Structure 1
Amino acid sequence: MHGNSPKTLRQDLLKQRKEFASGNGYASTKTSLIGGLNHFLANEGQTIRSIALYWPIQDEIDLRPTLLSWAEDDAHRRLSLPYARLDKHLDFFEWQAGDALIPSAHGVPEPNPENATRPQLTPDCILIPCVGWSSSVVSGKAHYWRLGYGGGYFDRTLAQLRKDNPTLICMGIGFDWQKLDDSQWAAQTHDEPLDMLLTESGLLR
């Protein structure tokens, strides 16, 4: 385990991401990754009606313009943002550009659950930013795993959502250089796998 602590690993990865975001190669990497998302939306987004995205923090890649364009192409499409409950589960509420948001306990902008004009939604697809990620092969099938910020919100939420919606698509968003090997980090039994992982190299599934 890196530095005997997942916390230390996260801190190192976040520092690397900050440096990467200010580097010369970031713009082209971002363009490639967003191109991959547009390809996914063009080919598989036709049957998706609701996508849960994230509000970018700490140098996470910003997908909002791309997803707003996707939603504007069809009046039946909806976007949502997560709201962190006290029990460390997430609810998703509709989001539109210009909506007033409220800061979470961690300082992340969130939708206001009291806003009656923005109902709670059940997403068909969830996009989740990765601090790091790994892959494993079980019975000849590849699995992808996300290292997040350590709160466990997404793992708890995905476990329940997958029971309610077996066709849910959970897509991690990350960079090639964030891939971790077993000596650095390995998924735990409570970690929920990703259905897909999007990096600048393309979509892994």
Structure 2
Amino acid sequence: MHGNSAKTLRQNLLKQRTMFAAEQNYAQIQAQLIDYLNQLLLEQGDSWQSIALYWPIQDEIDLRSTLLAWVKNTPNRTLSLPFARPDKHLDFYEWRQGDQLLPSKHGVPEPNPENSARPQLTPDCILIPCVGWSNSVVDGKTHYWRLGYGGGYFDRTLAQLRKNNPKLICMGVGFDWQKLDDSQWAAQTHDEPLDMLLTESGVLR
């Protein structure tokens, strides 16, 4: 897709998300999505010990309290937040409620990589917010794709992490209305597929 078209599409989707978050039924839709996340966390049991979440910006759905409860209930579970490196890769550092975060150059609160009390982690699952998303069927198998903010951080990072940990689960987080068809956007060769997609309709995989 032409760069300007993708940029315009992102801008339009972000405006829609702001309006959507202000609608009366937003709290109900958000609660449905969080219910499905809690069901998934119960299903996973102890197979996930570490989850990387995101600090919500620009009306992204806020999953922090849900995941803090997940950690609180069982010892040895950890949460982490991404830190954007200058080479446009992400590192994940342990995060606990109350930690002081630093603003990135994009304005996103990030962990301090020099905080020796919060080590770098390799998560079992990474939750990734979507600006938009799509799916495609290849050889009878459905693949899910994320349209992000255009920086390419997650695609570069996931490609490397998957080599190190083939069991890594990358889950997009979005809403049903954000689904894009081929005429609007198609994944590029450098885009990394999602293993799961969480919306208010459930977990797609």
Normalising by structure 2, we get a TM-score of: 0.98
Are positions 1:115 and 2:118 aligned together? no
2:121 aligns to what SS in structure 1? coil
Structure 1: unaligned runs, 5 residues or longer: none
Identity of aligned residues (%): 76
Deviates more, 1:182-191 or 1:3-12: 3-12
Aligned-partner Cα distance in 2 for 1:190–1:181: 19
Displacement of 1:46 in angstroms is 2.2
Alignment correspondent of 1:73: 73
Contact 1:2 1:183 in 2 (8 A): no
Amino acid at match of 1:158: L
Amino acid at match of 2:69: S
Per-residue Cα deviation, 1:74-105 (whole angstroms, up to 9, x for no partner): 11100000000000000000000000000001
Are positions 1:94 and 2:59 aligned together? no
The alignment yields a C-alpha RMSD, in angstroms, of: 1.1
Structure 2: unaligned runs, 5 residues or longer: none
Are positions 1:200 and 2:197 aligned together? no
Aligned-partner Cα distance in 2 for 1:25–1:178: 16
Alignment correspondent of 1:143: 143
1:142 aligns to what SS in structure 2? strand
Per-residue Cα deviation, 1:36-85 (whole angstroms, up to 9, x for no partner): 00000011142101000000000000000000000011111000000000
2:183 aligns to what SS in structure 1? coil
Alignment correspondent of 1:177: 177
Contact 1:2 1:184 in 2 (8 A): no
Alignment correspondent of 2:155: 155
Aligned-partner Cα distance in 2 for 1:163–1:22: 40
